[in-house]
């Protein structure tokens, strides 16, 4: 029996990866769960979003299998100037969705938040995005009733483990 070792890590996302991020964000299976996007993204908007980011860090999600490492998605922590920084995550390589890569990436993002001195986090999830709801609740995030709408729900983590 052969066992494939899989390791997930994060690396800073830089401007050389903007085309890759655009391509991931342009897939309907991904942008359907975005709050502010209803179709393929235009480069100018994508770049403008990138240049205007503040109080935010963006990372590539790297997957190492055996001796090979590849880029499979991206994760960001934003609103770093608030008590509840926000997490955004996407696994762009569609065929590996649901295999725990996103969850491992979120754990690493939570570590990074702790490193920056944060103890709390929040995430907004499209209520139809059941895999994402499962991912975050498994990690201890709890639905915040007051701020939720039918389409979007806020989940908070009061104490990063």
DSSP symbols for 111-133: HHHHHTT---EEEEEETT-HHHH
Q: Which of 153, 118, 150 is nearest to 136 (CA)?
A: 153
Among 28, 32, 82, 100, binds its own copies (CB under 8 A): 28
If binding is defined by CB under 8 A, does position 9 make contact with its own copies? no
Q: What is the DSSP letter of 5?
A: -
Window contacting its own copies (CB under 8 A); options: 22-30, 80-88, 103-111, 144-152 = 22-30
Restricted to residues 94-153, the positions that interact with its own copies (CB under 8 A) are 94-96
The size of the interface with its own copies (CB under 8 A), counted in residues, is 21
How do 6-12 and 121-126 pair as beta strands? unpaired
If binding is defined by CB under 8 A, does position 43 make contact with its own copies? yes
Per-residue burial over 124-135, b if 16 or more Cβ lie within 10 Å, else e, is: bbeeebeebbeb
If binding is defined by CB under 8 A, does position 18 make contact with its own copies? yes
Q: What is the DSSP letter of 32?
A: T
Residues 6+ apart with CB under 8 A from 1: none
Among 7, 14, 27, 48, binds its own copies (CB under 8 A): 27
- Environment class of 5 (CB within 10 Å of its CB; exposed 0-12, middle 13-18, buried 19+): exposed
Window contacting its own copies (CB under 8 A); options: 35-43, 79-87, 114-122, 135-143 = 35-43
If binding is defined by CB under 8 A, does position 72 make contact with its own copies? yes
Window contacting its own copies (CB under 8 A); options: 48-56, 91-99, 100-108, 125-133 = 91-99
Residues in contact with its own copies by the rule CB under 8 A? 18-20, 22-24, 26-28, 40-43, 70-72, 92-96
């Amino acid at each position: 029996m052969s066992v494939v070792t899989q390791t997930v890590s994060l690396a800073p996302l830089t401007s050389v990866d903007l085309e890759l991020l655009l391509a991931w964000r342009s897939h309907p299976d991904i942008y359907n769960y975005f709050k502010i996007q209803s179709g393929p993204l235009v480069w100018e908007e994508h770049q403008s979003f990138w240049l205007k980011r503040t109080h935010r860090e963006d990372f590539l999600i790297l997957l190492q299998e055996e001796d090979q490492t590849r880029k499979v998605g991206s994760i960001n922590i934003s609103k770093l100037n608030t008590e509840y920084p926000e997490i955004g995550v996407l696994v762009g390589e569609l065929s590996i969705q649901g295999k725990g890569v996103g969850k491992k990436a979120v754990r690493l993002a939570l570590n990074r938040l702790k490193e920056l001195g944060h103890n709390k986090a929040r995430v907004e999830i499209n209520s139809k995005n059941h895999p994402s709801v499962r991912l975050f609740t498994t990690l201890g995030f709890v639905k915040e009733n007051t701020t939720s709408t039918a389409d979007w729900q806020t989940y908070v983590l009061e104490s990063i483990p």
